[in-house]
Amino acid sequence: MSDQSHTAEYLAEKIEKILNDIGIQRFAAIVTDAGSNINLARQIITQKFPHIINIRCMAHCLNLITKDFIKHAFATRILNWSNVITTYFKKSHLPQKLLEDKIKEKNIKGGA
């Protein structure tokens, strides 16, 4: 598809072909990133097939927000200190054991 201009109409046509190939009744939603062309393509599809919900990808939104956040010096400092603390506990046996004991004591779930 890289030799084609990715207009909303072109993308909607390609999406519709996939929907038809698989079976339109098997789809409840379309999830994409926030590009204006793909956003309009989603709108075209959901207008043509009202049972299909138009959803913007939250993971992509969070990724964009995170990229903006880590550009700031504050975020860089937090990440650097987090790495220092993590490395300390991973490389130091006694502190690692104390941390594991506290995790068990406090009934914290999700790993170390």
Indicate if 59 and 78 belong to the same structural domain. no
Q: Which domain holds residue 35?
A: 8-63
Query: pLDDT band for position 111 (50/70/90)?
Result: low
Tokens linked to 16: 């519709």
- Provide the CA 67 distance to its chain's centre, in angstroms: 12
Which of 67, 19, 11 has its CA nearest to residue 44?
A: 11
Per the structure, how many domains does the chain have?
Answer: 2
Query: pLDDT band for position 110 (50/70/90)?
Result: confident
Tell me if the pTM is above 0.75.
no
Indicate if 93 and 57 belong to the same structural domain. no
Task: Please report the pLDDT score of residue 112 as a whole number.
Answer: 57
- The whole-number average pLDDT for the span 22-50 is 93
- Residues 81, 45 contacting (CB under 8 angstroms): no
Task: Provide, rounded to the nearest whole percent, the portion of the chain with pLDDT above 90.
Answer: 64
* Residue 112 located in a structural domain: no
Is pLDDT of 1 > 80? no
- Residues 39, 33 contacting (CB under 8 angstroms): no
* Residue 54 located in a structural domain: yes
